[in-house]
Structure 1
Amino acid sequence: MGEYPNIADHGLIGDLQTAALVDTNATIDWFCAPRFDAPSVFGSLLDAERGGFCSVRPTTDDYVTRQLYLPNTAILITRFMSEAGVGEVIDFMPVTDGEATDRHRIVRMVRVVRGSMTFEAEIQPRFDYGRATHTMEPDVGVGVRFSSGAQSLTVHRVGEPVHHGGQQAGRVEVVGDGLRITGTLEAGEITGVVLESGGAPPTRVTRDELMTMFLETTRYWRDWNSQSSYRGRWREVVARSAMTLKLMTYAPTGALVAAPTAGLPEQVGGERNWDYRYTWIRDASFSVYSLLSLGYVEEAEAFVEWLMARVHESVGEGSGPLKIMYRVDGTSDLIEETVDDLAGYRGSTPVRIGNGAADQLQLDIYGEAMDSIHLADTHGLQLPHAGWVKLSEMLDWVCDNWNTPEEGIWETRGGRQNFTYGRFMSWIALDRGIRLAVLRGRPAPILRWREQRDAIYEQIMTNGWHAERRAFVQHDATDVLDASLLLMPLMGFVAPRDPMWLATLAAMDTELVSDSLVYRYNPSASPDGLLGSEGTFTLCSFWYVDALARSGYLEEAQLVFEKMLTYANHLGLYAEEIGLTGEQLGNFPQAFSHLSLINAAVNLDYQLDHGSGFVDPVLVSGRRTT
């Protein structure tokens, strides 16, 4: 290997329990098994020499590549085009939509559609982030099994095509600690390999079995995609974002990971390299609106059930009743460590596994959680009695602790502050709790909740507002702006044409917005405890679209949205951030980026259809703003 592709030069495939990244040369350079947060099997994206990979490509260098998804599916096609022929590598994972399992298959189907082409497949697994050795047990003509402790990978060969002379094509050789398979295909011929975790012995896969897996996977994704109720202006990009979110959902529990990757840098060569293969209360709560707005009630319900299970656990430690993030199974052992064996993406170190922010106090998660639960309730997913009792206890805790300094939404490591966003979301938590109690006639200390809710409001209007800056600011000890406050009008805290809000938006336009791109804050003006800089946050850029539309700048909002679509990669995928020259930065793809795209598209459609600034109390976010 030796080279690193751009972060953007990847597609995502998955089976709803784990996922793999495939670059534009059809190399799988990131795959963890048996689930998203398990140790890697292929990790050359974080170390081109020692990380491990599975590549399939022509033996000649005289070709160009193009990549696309099979329409309305998560099946990825990498096309190799040369004067001698055109070949395709079709990658997918048969969907494992049920109980957790160790068995996960990556199907790599190879075919030639014009002329002829010789392909070379190389499989070089490196288990446990490249830290573990492995054994190799070949079964000549059938495949090979690689084993390393509890991890294993089996390579099943697909029946070789028969050429015109009656000769079978294909050569297998051991290369270092891996395997290389070479074969020539003529137009119309199909072969491939099936990679399987879980310890199964190698077997020969027939082409009929290969096609059955392909057709079943195609049918699954097209059936799922057809359930979408979205009929707006941006159907293709919304559908791709929805499928991307689905690919990042752990089906056995309904939990959504923030991203399927770890260690991809926010600044190439810098230290802002985090492990995002976990479920943030914040990110996943925002996904409830995205899912419900597209008609995916089952997925929204599954996550709300997962969320309520965490509420019932009520850890009651320094982070409050909820931790800010969990593993997909609901456990919270996210001890952060560095993997010194990995060189890091283009030298970006340290490579971190686990996440030390898990125990931070971030008050905003209670607002996001309550907002998603309230929204789900208004869509028929009502809480049982036991759930309401635990929510009431959680809201009582918010009453007691909302005025506590905290780490904030961006998980900075520069010390606790009285973050305005955390206060604002505490207001949301109590406001949504009051609404649920009144709507459903549930017992609750409503007078106390109202008193504390109103106290939060008064504090934000007094301490969160900076008179000289004429803007709401990040916290009460600074004049720094913060893009998280773009949610204030969306969630009903301020009227979208309130002069205080319009002044804040104008200040953000001047300081945080670069064309259509939005920085989350200015780290040079507000030290966050980390070295280096970062790109603009795609999440914030889509929040900006909605804020513009609601505030009366509808044409500008639509233009910003269309510009943001140009920053997607060739498959419509987004990382966490966008750099100065439009490059994708950070873990990829990012759930926050895609759910905010969906929300912006749905809300902007409604604004365009009903006039600038119009807010429907049910359809738009399911939130009443009066």
Structure 2
Amino acid sequence: MSNAQPVLEDRTFVAYQSLENYGFIGDLHTVALAGVDGSIDYMCFPHFDSPTVFGALLDDDLGGRFKIAPAVDGSRYKQMYLPDTNVLLTRFLGANGVVEITDFMPVEEMRHTHILIRRVHAVRGPVDLHLECAPRFDYARVGHRAKAKGDEVWFIPNDNSIPTLRLLCAIPVDVVDGDAVVDFTLQSGESVDFVLETVESEERSPAEATDYAEKALQHSMQFWRGWNATMSYRGRWQDMISRSALALKLLTSQKYGSIAAAGTFGIPEEIGGERNWDYRFTWVRDASFTAASLIRLGFTEEASGFIRWIEQRFDESDTPGKLQIMYGIDGRHDLAEATLDHLSGYRDSAPVRIGNGAYEQTQLDIYGELLYAVNLYDELVEPISYALWKDLSAATDWVCDHWRDTDEGIWEVRGGQREFLYSRLTDWVALDRAIRIAQRRSFPAPLARWIQVRDDIHNEIYTGFWSEQKQAFVQSKGSDTLDASALMMPLVDFIAPRDPRWLSTLDAVERELVDDALVYRYRPDTAASDGLEGAEGTFGICSFWFVECLARSGQIDKARLFFEKLHGYANHLGLYAEELDPSGRFLGNYPQAFTHLALVNSALYLNEALERRQR
């Protein structure tokens, strides 16, 4: 586990916590971010891609928060997960008292509705505390009124289509300007629970039972520990891999089977910049890679759910075998992009975008990643159905017809389509894995055509994407730009990891894109235009890809050094965002599935390589 400590604040934006100062909880329907200062500053309710009810992370003044903290500043704080769970513990340590806040969301049978539970416990007291529950509905666009009803406060939106929230309190709470606020004191050993839930009806809520919070806590710990115990991996860096797996699990939708790319939207890739995207949706690419990584760890339920979700998307398609690159968590197709101009953005990084215009893009790679995951599923989990095979066969035929097309590529550039290496590579993967499945299962397939197209793509990559000047495979046809997505070439078995052309490419990537153990995806000043101003940080997924490539090339000691350096860039909980800035601070949406799945994959290979060397 990382030994990183919470980051001291830049006084320019003192109201905003550094992104790495947040823990991450959820109920397999949505997630919330809880800061080391005791404030829940981000939560979409009731689903991953629902509007926020707490959004102070994106506008400290307008966004809304749910904060519980010592009434007097000056406490030191620590934050951790209860071992092998997604139950978060934040501890405040002061000269006169110590208090703990346990944050979690009930799961499965204890989740009668959408619920957030915050338990406050005085380890040593007395401790004076302040509570502020200030929801702001629909991204702070819809007002509300608050009404105290006994030991409850109801937050009733002005829009009847938005669910009412109810805060159950074990102590009297005041209503001030639509918010629930209270100052209270806990003596040593005393605890108090606060339960925030959606109101389904006027009937008595199960959460009103005096022992509900305790039962929900025990159930949640048992659920997460039981799930984590099914992991098949037993090797080095167990804690880091376990935490990554738990983070990936939190991004899966129990209801639909879809998998979110990240927990948040609107977190900038450059502070003050415009590269701010909504990642709360299901990309076929990201979800396929996530499912594959979970399969490797022995978790199969999530992959099965995703396969069912994909089958539904195929059934909805107007063109046999054709998919959008991404969908809403519930499978909806329209993800029209809009800006929330009333929000200032995280540390004044505007615009804040919801929706994602990339859903209309052409990205040829998605079939390769999908078939990569399905091949693993068919081989290691259970044989796929004939109905799914017919969809995959149609998708493979579509790739045969369109692999020469231009597209926006894996990085979703907005500056015009090109012929990208990564798209060609993953089209090769689509053909290669489809052939493997067909041959293993004796499925009907036009194998002669598929093999010919696969070989044509292979030949074109060597002739059209190899730069004699760079002595490397390059980002797009005719360019001399390096792109870290080329690191996938040996990872999908396209090229031998010690092939001279690959070793030359790996050296070129290290010269131009690697900074310490961190890897840029490309250099924006020379790469295909993404249509945006500003810079970006190093990419987590690219950094872990590089580690695995080093290990596969035989540079095992160097790979281990880089891998363990990357551990030092995790936050105090072992979590990662999409990117890191030059000072090691998190950038981009958080937590990021891409980064955690690549950590898992690189760790599995590196551990295996170290074991082989010891034998």
SS at match of 2:330: coil
In structure 1, C-alpha distance between the alignment counterparts of 2:193 and 2:453, rounded to whole Å: 63
Equivalent residue number for residue 276 of structure 2: 273
Q: Deviations over 1:462-488 (max 9, x none)?
A: 011111110000001311001111111
8 A Cα contact 1:262 1:276, kept in partner:
yes
In structure 2, C-alpha distance between the alignment counterparts of 1:172 and 1:445, rounded to whole Å: 69
2:84 aligned residue (40, 53, 72)? 72
**Runs of 4 or more consecutive aligned structure 1 residues displaced over 6 Å after TM superposition:** none
Q: Establish whether residue 566 from structure 1 lines up as the match of residue 568 from structure 2.
A: yes
SS at match of 2:606: helix
Structure 2: state its 5+ residue gaps.
1-12
1:219 aligned residue (197, 210, 222)? 222
8 A Cα contact 1:17 1:96, kept in partner:
no
What amino acid is aligned across from residue 583 of structure 1 in structure 2? R
Equivalent residue number for residue 70 of structure 2: 58
Q: Deviations over 1:439-479 (max 9, x none)?
A: 11111111111111111011100011111110000001311
Q: Establish whether residue 152 from structure 1 lines up as the match of residue 159 from structure 2.
A: no
8 A Cα contact 1:13 1:247, kept in partner:
yes
Equivalent residue number for residue 458 of structure 2: 457
In structure 2, C-alpha distance between the alignment counterparts of 1:360 and 1:285, rounded to whole Å: 18
Q: Deviations over 1:109-139 (max 9, x none)?
A: 0010112101111111111101111122221
Instruction: Provide the aligned length of Structure 1 versus Structure 2.
Output: 599
Q: Deviations over 1:42-89 (max 9, x none)?
A: 101000000011100111113111111111111111111111110011
In structure 2, C-alpha distance between the alignment counterparts of 1:115 and 1:267, rounded to whole Å: 42
Deviation at 1:103, TM superposition (A): 2.4
Q: Establish whether residue 283 from structure 1 lines up as the match of residue 290 from structure 2.
A: no
Structure 1: state its 5+ residue gaps.
161-170, 615-626
Q: Establish whether residue 303 from structure 1 lines up as the match of residue 318 from structure 2.
A: no
Equivalent residue number for residue 391 of structure 2: 390
In structure 2, C-alpha distance between the alignment counterparts of 1:195 and 1:9, rounded to whole Å: 23
What amino acid is aligned across from residue 33 of structure 1 in structure 2? F
Judged with a 3 Å threshold, the aligned counterparts in structure 2 of structure 1 residues 422 and 336 are, in CA distance, closer, same or farther, namely same
SS at match of 1:256: coil
Deviation at 1:228, TM superposition (A): 0.8
Deviates further, 194-203 or 428-437: 194-203
8 A Cα contact 1:33 1:39, kept in partner:
yes
8 A Cα contact 2:169 2:195, kept in partner:
yes
Q: Deviations over 1:408-453 (max 9, x none)?
A: 0000111000001100100010011111111111111111111111
8 A Cα contact 1:97 1:252, kept in partner:
no
8 A Cα contact 2:170 2:194, kept in partner:
no
8 A Cα contact 1:2 1:49, kept in partner:
no
What amino acid is aligned across from residue 53 of structure 1 in structure 2? R
- Indicate the RMSD between aligned Cα atoms, in angstroms: 1.8
8 A Cα contact 1:518 1:541, kept in partner:
yes
Q: Establish whether residue 484 from structure 1 lines up as the match of residue 494 from structure 2.
A: no
Equivalent residue number for residue 466 of structure 1: 467
In structure 2, C-alpha distance between the alignment counterparts of 1:185 and 1:200, rounded to whole Å: 33
Deviates further, 111-120 or 47-56: 111-120
2:96 aligned residue (84, 96, 112)? 84
Q: Establish whether residue 108 from structure 1 lines up as the match of residue 118 from structure 2.
A: yes
Judged with a 3 Å threshold, the aligned counterparts in structure 2 of structure 1 residues 130 and 558 are, in CA distance, closer, same or farther, namely same
Judged with a 3 Å threshold, the aligned counterparts in structure 2 of structure 1 residues 175 and 312 are, in CA distance, closer, same or farther, namely same
In structure 2, C-alpha distance between the alignment counterparts of 1:173 and 1:288, rounded to whole Å: 46
Matches within 5 A, 1:21-60: 21-60=33-72
Deviation at 1:206, TM superposition (A): 4.9
In structure 2, C-alpha distance between the alignment counterparts of 1:293 and 1:139, rounded to whole Å: 50
Deviates further, 453-462 or 135-144: 135-144
In structure 1, C-alpha distance between the alignment counterparts of 2:88 and 2:167, rounded to whole Å: 20
In structure 2, C-alpha distance between the alignment counterparts of 1:153 and 1:118, rounded to whole Å: 30
What amino acid is aligned across from residue 282 of structure 1 in structure 2? R
Paired-residue identity, %? 47
8 A Cα contact 1:427 1:457, kept in partner:
yes
Judged with a 3 Å threshold, the aligned counterparts in structure 2 of structure 1 residues 102 and 264 are, in CA distance, closer, same or farther, namely farther
SS at match of 2:19: coil
Judged with a 3 Å threshold, the aligned counterparts in structure 2 of structure 1 residues 316 and 530 are, in CA distance, closer, same or farther, namely farther
Equivalent residue number for residue 538 of structure 1: 540
8 A Cα contact 2:164 2:199, kept in partner:
yes
Deviation at 1:525, TM superposition (A): 0.7
SS at match of 2:572: coil
Equivalent residue number for residue 596 of structure 2: 594
8 A Cα contact 2:154 2:165, kept in partner:
yes
Q: Deviations over 1:486-533 (max 9, x none)?
A: 111111000001000000000001000001000001111122211100
SS at match of 1:66: strand
* Length-normalised TM-score, structure 1: 0.93
Deviation at 1:538, TM superposition (A): 0.3
Q: Deviations over 1:588-610 (max 9, x none)?
A: 11011111111111111111111
In structure 1, C-alpha distance between the alignment counterparts of 2:201 and 2:234, rounded to whole Å: 44
Judged with a 3 Å threshold, the aligned counterparts in structure 2 of structure 1 residues 146 and 513 are, in CA distance, closer, same or farther, namely same
In structure 1, C-alpha distance between the alignment counterparts of 2:339 and 2:403, rounded to whole Å: 33
SS at match of 2:565: helix
Q: Establish whether residue 581 from structure 1 lines up as the match of residue 592 from structure 2.
A: no
Equivalent residue number for residue 95 of structure 1: 107
* Length-normalised TM-score, structure 2: 0.95
Q: Establish whether residue 9 from structure 1 lines up as the match of residue 24 from structure 2.
A: no
